[in-house]
Amino acid sequence: MCVVGVLACDAGGDDGDTAAEDTWQQVHADLPGALLSVWGSGRNDVWAVGADARDGTGPLVLHFDGSTWTRPTTGLTAGDLWWVFGFEGGPVYMGGDGGVIVRLVGDTFEVMDTPGIGTVYGLWGATPETMWAVGGESDASGGFAWRLQGGAWMPEPSLAADVSSSAAIWKAFGTADDDVWLVGSNGVALHWDGTALVPGDTGVGSSLFTVHALGGLYAAVGGLATGIIVESTDGTTWRNVTPEPPPMGLAGVTLGADGSGVAVGFEGSMYTRSAAGWTVEDSGLPVRQNLHGSWIDDEGGLWVVGGQTLTSPLTEGVMLHRGTPVPEGL
């Protein structure tokens, strides 16, 4: 794995200091590319991917091993990576512009063959061999859903033609090979039951950008000027749980243990979840960039990424973190 740079400094604070763990820190700021997605197998294995750094090294990719930040190069020389998802011990999948899917196995990045050139906006799989890749065009059309079968990406034939022609599929997430939700523009929501994609009803007519599930709870967020949060406790029936006053548009959501969660969106907006529902989260930081992706680690730490995400080039990458302090800065 080729590394462009090594990023590290004193994390500050005491791991046992509760006050420090409850404080948001700005881990990275003003990066050359917006960060669009963050995922990890644990606090000591965190990946963030994003936009083209425009320095000849392709899309921005960062990795944290528990003590040090590194910037691996994927072999791509241009383009944006919109999503990252993987498995403890590997592999790690990254998807983006032009139908690109990069798979990291060990220290080796491999650009996989894919059946199309639309942007891959979402990746999820129950196992490394049963992955989903979804996406479409930025104008919210050309939606597609691909499945990894026998080591090859193949279009899922049960995706209805009227859906693919009129919507983009933004994200996929599930609990098992026979329980996967796909969400997209124009209120599109599809459920995979192990045999076919079946239309679902979230009661929402606007875009749902991200879906997540954990411990019997499902959540999806979206909206444009006005944000939306919907939840399901049975994986079938959805209800609108958007807090009042409603948030700005939301782009990312992650659920954690014990009913916790974090949702992020436009102009630095964040909401966290407890048994009482979703409430505004004030980071105390002067962050005005759009927040696009989130993740909760195995210790309950919150990770949030974003940047200038509405017009190209996508710049001003930022990462926020709440939990045991981590090294900051590039």
pLDDT along the chain (330 residues), means of 10: 43 54 95 98 98 96 97 96 98 98 97 98 97 93 95 97 94 97 96 97 94 97 95 95 96 96 97 96 96 97 97 97 92
Place of tokens 């930081």: 285
* Alpha-carbon separation of residue 79 from 48, 57, 291 (angstroms): 15, 10, 20
Q: What is the pLDDT of residue 20?
A: 75
Summarize the chain as % helix, strand, coil (round to 5). 5, 50, 40
pTM (whole model) above 0.85: yes
CA 81 to chain centre: 11
CATH number of 3-322: 2.130.10.10
Give the domain ranges of the chain: 3-322
Residues 6+ apart with CB under 8 A from 150: none
Element containing residue 166 per DSSP (H, E):
helix 161-166
For 269, the token pair is: 């907006």
CA 314 to chain centre: 16
Angle at 174 between CA 169 and CA 178, to 5 degrees: 105
Spatial separation of the C-alpha atoms in residues 277 and 261, rounded to whole Å: 9
At 19 the pLDDT is 67
70/330 Cα distance (integer angstroms) = 9
